[in-house]
Structure 1
Amino acid sequence: MKVAILNQQDKIKVGKPLKDLIKRSAEAALKFFDLRTDVEISVMLTDNDGIRDLNKLHRNIDRTTDVLSFPMFEYNEAGEINEDYAELNEMGEICLGDIVISLERAEEQAEEYGHSFEREVGFLTVHSMLHLLGFDHMTEEEEKEMFDYQREILEQMELTR
């Protein structure tokens, strides 16, 4: 799995451990669904102002959020990659899409929820990966399914509260 990480903020130090956590979290979501791993995602790390600007631009919502997901394609069934419609990059990898995480908001939420910053970043990465895999939480049923998957994946990673 290729994970391209772009740091666009300067409030929180981004080193190898944080990058490894993001990659491990993304890989855990793929492994959970027994999906092929020759995929690519990009992850942009930003601050509250940066994610607010993107939220307004792409969703017309003028407020800070913790994570945004931009899937590259739609699914017939969540969690099942239809390779006929998947875009391949020059390496033959499926481009799943882009993730944007506000590290500033992740730090705030970790403190608010009483768990580690690492657990929060892992959670946000897994949450966004599920969106890239076609899952959503628009209905109560979808929300329960998606949140159950998140919890199970994080437990497998030993990233609990």
Structure 2
Amino acid sequence: MRTVRAVVAARAMSGEYSSSVMEGGAGLIGGGSTEAGSAPDAARADEPGAASVDILDSTGRLPTAHVGWLGDHLRRALGLLGAAGEVRVRVLADQAMSESHARFRGVEDTTDVLTFDLSGPGRPLDVDVLVCLDEAERRAEELGHPRQHELLLYMIHGVLHCLGHDDHDPEARARMHAEEDRLLRAIGVGAVFHAPGGGGSA
């Protein structure tokens, strides 16, 4: 069964997370070492009045062109949503994602996306997103689409949580995944969650 999971940690939920992000001590977005000694690729796309997007590939496995593609397309999706603020994305491998999942949610296993909402009420987006490249590669191979499309789905899913969407019941999940695919179609990628062979419902 096709699922995309996101965990949203509000600032009030974890003072430890909030302070460590501000100081770069958590090693999630702004700090930490790269894996396998690879230098990370980063993409930044912003302009006045638009959302700022930063993508850091901590795995060193994504071509620079793919990192840039992800940044450009995520920013376009945010533009369609009318979202302003900052979204910072870090691409991790299974081990680093498992460590983050265990640290912040107590689950000792990898996952596709973890989202940390640092935005204040009524304020522009201030969001950290962790996405797992290994999980994206597994799903992309299974479903027959590029891994960067799967990664982009995870990023959009995480941001939508911070804009009020949830997937706690079947109807809400259906609405959320329909919105993901609407955005992906609108920016020229095409449906990913409900793509042919994608399994359809969550």
Pick the TM interval, shorter chain. Answer: 0.7 to 0.9
Change (3 A) 1:74 1:157: same
Q: Which residue of 1 aligns with 2:75?
A: 27
Work out which of the residue numbers 150, 153, 156 in structure 2 matches 1:120.
150
Structure with the bigger RCO (C-alpha within 8 Å, sep 6+) is: 1
Q: Which residue of 2 aligns with 1:52?
A: 98
1: distance between equivalents of 2:63 and 2:129? 16
* Contact 2:53-2:71 at 8 Å conserved across structures: yes
Q: 3-state SS of the aligned residue for 1:31? A: helix
| TM-score for the superposition, normalised by structure 2 | 0.63
Q: Which residue of 2 aligns with 1:140?
A: 170
Q: Which runs of 5+ in 1 are unaligned?
A: 76-81, 87-93
Give the Å deviation of 1:36.
4.4
Work out which of the residue numbers 57, 66, 69 in structure 2 matches 1:18.
66
* Contact 2:101-2:109 at 8 Å conserved across structures: yes
RMSD across aligned positions (CA)? 1.9
Q: 3-state SS of the aligned residue for 1:142? A: helix
| TM-score for the superposition, normalised by structure 1 | 0.77
Q: How many residues align?
A: 141
Q: Does 1:104 align with 2:162?
A: no
Q: 3-state SS of the aligned residue for 1:115? A: coil
2: distance between equivalents of 1:136 and 1:28? 22
* Contact 1:22-1:125 at 8 Å conserved across structures: no
Amino-acid identity (%): 23
Letter in 2 for 1:158: G
Give the Å deviation of 1:14.
3.8
Moved over 3 A (4+): none
1: distance between equivalents of 2:144 and 2:127? 30
1: distance between equivalents of 2:173 and 2:120? 18
